[in-house]
Amino acid sequence: MNRKSNLIRFSFVLLFCLLAACSGSTPTPAPQPLKVEWTTWQGDYTLLVANAMGFFQQHGISVEPVKYESASQSIPDLAAGELDGGLYTMSDVLLASNLADLKGVMVSDNGGVYSVVASTDIGTVRDLRGKRIGLNLHTASEMFVSYMLKSESMNASNVEYVEVSPEQVPTSIPDTIDAGLVWEPYTSQALQMGTRIVYQSSKYSTLTPKMIVFRKSVVEQRPEDIRAFIQAWNDAVNYRLSHPQESLSIISKATSLTPSELKLAGEITIYTIDDNSRLFADNPGTDASSIYFIARFNSDFLINIGYITNPPNIDELLDPSFLQ
């Protein structure tokens, strides 16, 4: 009797194993979340809105926003594969492309006001001669400061650059630096601490838009996820445009910045897929309405100051195929 029972049990176990093998029921592991860098910048907050509103999930993907004090600090992690992508200015993209194969798939935003604040004994750009200026080196910040110095027939050799991120500038004047580049809310914080604005411009920002960038390997291995990301991002842009107050509340909660602090940042343009279709329309383009023109402008600047000697192929770096 025991022998017969054991035989029956063995037959059931064997049958179960055969059925399981034939059905291929082994679960497929879920894709890892796309890890995407962001910083304290108005355009980057679209990422937070998309996540909070569930737009990524609606398009079938998972995204993990990863915050950095400055985008330049994240580039080593991007190159090492610890990040899948991020939100970077064009100059950051060009510099990072020397460390990793990247694809710029969409322009996220443009605008904002860049300011250089300084201690009260410095009243003009000319007064910066021989002074310490805090900024993120090798980024759009350095391009802006160079642009400012050029307006008074000066250059980097007339000042001392110090690596200081915008959020550190207000507390670094005057001990560590004499002046520094900031944007809101750090401009207002610096002014509250007794500094003054010596130079300010919103026009220059048209040449330093931010882009959604992914590592080339991620784009090749997960093309449908990249397409889904852009669709979800577009949903979030439209939500921000049609529901500004609700979006402000979401961003305030996600960043711990008050609505009043967020409003100080001024106006920027956040781009939809349709906007991007126009930005990518003309190659090479003749002005800042073309992302290809902007890319080459930034590339030429970085070559002229010696930061890149082997510029990337712009046509391979920029990939608008996922906008369709």
Buried b (16+ CB within 10 A) or exposed e, 209-234: bbbbbbbbebbeebeebbbbbbbbbb
- The CATH superfamily holding the domain 34-111+207-323 is Periplasmic binding protein-like II (3.40.190.10)
4-17 per-position pLDDT tens digit: 444 444 444 444 34
SS3 210: strand
Q: Which two tokens stand for residue 31?
A: 């894709």
Highest mean pLDDT among 105-114, 164-173, 180-189: 164-173
Are 282 and 295 within 8 A, CB to CB? no
- Other C-beta atoms within 10 Å of 204: how many? 16
Q: Is the dihedral angle over the CA atoms 154, 159, 164, 168 positive or is it negative?
A: negative
> Residue 31 has what DSSP assignment?
P
163-184 per-position pLDDT tens digit: 999 999 999 999 999 999 998 8
- Report d(CA 161, CA 86) in Å as an integer: 26
Question: Which residue would you say has higher pLDDT here, 111 or 191?
Answer: 191
- Other C-beta atoms within 10 Å of 258: how many? 12
* Per-residue confidence (pLDDT) for residue 18, from 0 to 100: 38
Query: 34-111+207-323 and 114-201: same fold?
Result: yes
Domain ranges of the chain: 34-111+207-323, 114-201
Estimate to the nearest angstrom the gap between the alpha carbon of 88 and the chain centroid.
Answer: 3
* Per-residue confidence (pLDDT) for residue 159, from 0 to 100: 98
- Report d(CA 240, CA 268) in Å as an integer: 12
Q: Which CATH number fits domain 114-201: 3.30.70.600, 3.40.190.10, 1.10.260.40, 1.20.140.10?
A: 3.40.190.10
46-92 per-position pLDDT tens digit: 999 999 999 999 999 999 999 999 898 999 999 999 999 999 999 89
- Report d(CA 102, CA 318) in Å as an integer: 9
Question: Which residue would you say has higher pLDDT here, 220 or 185?
Answer: 220
Buried b (16+ CB within 10 A) or exposed e, 30-50: eeeebbbbbbbbbbbbbbbbb
Q: Per-residue confidence at 160, pLDDT binned at 50, 70, 90?
A: very high
277-308 per-position pLDDT tens digit: 999 999 989 988 999 999 998 998 888 888 88
- Report d(CA 290, CA 281) in Å as an integer: 7
